[in-house]
Chains A and B, each alone.
Chain A
Amino acid sequence: MDFMVFQYPMISVQACLDGILLGILFALIAYGMALQWGVMNIINIAQGDLVILGGYIAYFMYLYGIHPAWGVIVAPVIMYFVGIAIYKLVINKVVDRDLFISILATFGISILFMQLMNFAFGADVVLANSDYGTTMLFNNNVVLPNSKIFSAFISILFAICLVIYMKKSKLGRAIRATAQNARAAKILGVDTEKVYAATFGINAALCGVAGALISITFTIHPYMGLPYTIRSFMIVIVAGLGNLPGVAMSGMGLGVFEEFADYILGTEFRIGSVFLLLVLILIYRRFKLSRKREYLK
């Protein structure tokens, strides 16, 4: 335990800003998860592994001399097709089944991806260096890497684009209709199978963007996927499905929580504290709901 973070206000400011920038990234991943959870009623445990895969795409561009920031455009395109392939191979067989089946199936995909990435890219922790430099704030007391600001900006941009796309385009309307009532949408001529595939593809593409940004700002490693899944799951259950400002807010909240946990408990407990927070949130939610149920009685 180390409470230095409260003794020096500048460290708190640093942690808050870091957390907010990080949280915006989490919110982007969580938005993808909320989308496919809402539409297909599937919880994708492989979400984090899709993120890491997107990160490796950017990292490879970096290795071949292309600036990794272009990964923000390339990764989603590739990941869209990866997502559609996963949907066609696995997900379309579990869409209407028991939820546990889909959790277990995506868990299998997650293990598969983890290991394939381990083979393909090696087990080293890597990062794509963007050479963006840093910004000093508050009399040089707070240091913000420009890459973090860049990634937050790009995340917001993508989120806004997606929201507009969902509102205005034909596919967006079809996706929303399917989310509301798949059967009714089918009757009214929506090809739900295609909508599901597109949803999963869009989710994977969002993961690709987030992954490319993570490879620029933080580090990636084949086994680091699960924490991202858990974080996005947590954000979605705190915010609720289809509540976009909520997703953004709880994403930032989680980011700030993590930074403070990092300072107070130490880095080795960072992931552990995220998982523990998930358990606590679920327990809190359970007691809140049970009180509501009793009230209804």
Chain B
Amino acid sequence: MKNNSILYIGILIFGIAAPFVFPAFKVQLSILCVLIVLATTWNIQGGEMGYNSFGNILFYGLGMYLCASVQVGMFFPLAEWTESGGEKTFVHTPAQFFQGMAVGLVVAAVVPTIVAGLIGYSILGLRGHYFAICTLGLGVAAGEISGGIEIIGAGQGFTTPPFPDVGSLDSRGEFFYFLSFFTLVLTFIAVRSIYSTRFKLILNAIRDNEDKAEAMGIETMKYKIIGWMISAFFCGLAGGIMGGLVGYIDSTDVAFDGREMGVFMVLMAILGGKGTLWGPIIGATVFHIFKEGFWTFFLGWQYVALGVLIVVIVIYFPEGIMGWLREKYPERFGEVIDEKDRKAQVELK
């Protein structure tokens, strides 16, 4: 336990110092924070609950559009803004920008949570691959439909309010970095405290055998919906931040990007190890470094690499980094191993 607190303080100090130590990587570090948030919250219902969703991108994209729309709509007419060139005619003052961002982020977090609660009852009743495909369909449908709505830019996209001039040029990167880092810390604290309660055990029970869990008197549907809502909350928040960070929202390429972000969050969680606290964090970090390297050096081939990576990870490495470490050093995870038993198992293999 003592080691852990040192680790946390170390990470916190690193996190606060990082944008000043590596000023060139501010945007990358902010994206990393968002990716970790997405992977960690995907893990709540994907890893712990066993409901593998491709559709968390729905909440992410919803949050992105909502945050930007609120930020614009609070002060200026939204329709004129999106009708190309709005960001040139209307300029947010710093106070308006931050006010709008704050309200926008709250809306971006709350509305997806409500949406998750509303659709949760019908969708979480599906099991296994039906759930996976249904959520995949949901994500794509959201992208296609939002691409046809005029007021949020339809096919031509939506430019989020540019960062106001507050003096220093670095302030945009720092603002978004600390925003995403704060969200990451918030997510981590929330998820960690969730994982130390009975709620996590209930989620695990649902994953292991839902019918038995129900027979034991757990209202599985209630807990499934709550789990999904927690996921949606943080996904929406992450989406809102990412919208401001990217500066431009397109329905299928940025917001509801099932081919990129929607798969990334699943892949990161699996790469790190499903159903662990640290797995998605490690997975996201490794994945982001790998991805950025690939995206830079093999420009154009990134999706080929992504496809191969998915296949390789899924087939050869489904237990993830944490699972692999756990198998290798079980003592570190507080598991007491009977040597005799272990030997017998090795012989069996």
Contact = CB atoms under 8 A, between A and B. Distances in A.
Contacts of B270: 104
Interface residues of B, number: 40
Contacts of A119: 300, 304
A283 B125 CA distance: 8
A14 B308 CA distance: 44
A260 B301 CA distance: 39
B289 interface: no
B73 interface: no
Chief secondary structure at chain B's binding surface: helix
Nearest to B145: A272
A5 interface: no
A282 B144 contact: no
A118 B122 CA distance: 37
Interface residues of A, number: 42
A295 B295 CA distance: 54
B303 A115 contact: yes
A111 B310 contact: yes
Interface in A56-113: 90, 93-94, 97, 99-101, 103-105, 107-113
A115 B141 contact: no
Contacts of A266: 148
Given A43-B133, A116-B304, A276-B141, A104 B310 contact: yes
Nearest to A284: B122
A262 B319 CA distance: 44
A209 B33 CA distance: 46
A233 B263 contact: no
> Among the interface residues A107, A109, A271, which one has the most CB atoms of the partner chain B within 10 A?
A107
B271 to A, nearest CB: 12
Contacts of A272: 140-141, 143-145, 147-148
B52 interface: yes
Contacts of A43: 129, 133
Contact of B310 (A107, A276, A283): A107
A105 B144 contact: no
A1 to B, nearest CB: 12
Contacts of B314: 94, 101, 104-105, 108
Interface of B: 52, 54, 122-123, 125-126, 128-130, 132-134, 136-138, 140-141, 143-145, 147-148, 155, 259, 263, 266, 270, 300-301, 303-304, 306-311, 314-315, 318
Interface of A: 43, 90, 93-94, 97, 99-101, 103-105, 107-116, 118-119, 226, 230, 233, 237, 266, 268-269, 271-272, 275-276, 278-279, 282-283, 285-287, 290
17 contacts: A90-B315, A105-B315, A107-B263, A108-B307, A108-B308, A112-B303, A114-B307, A115-B304, A115-B307, A116-B304, A230-B137, A269-B145, A272-B140, A279-B138, A282-B137, A283-B126, A286-B126
**Which 9 pairs show the lowest CB-CB distances between chains A and B?**
A112-B307, A108-B310, A272-B144, A275-B141, A115-B303, A111-B307, A108-B311, A278-B137, A268-B148
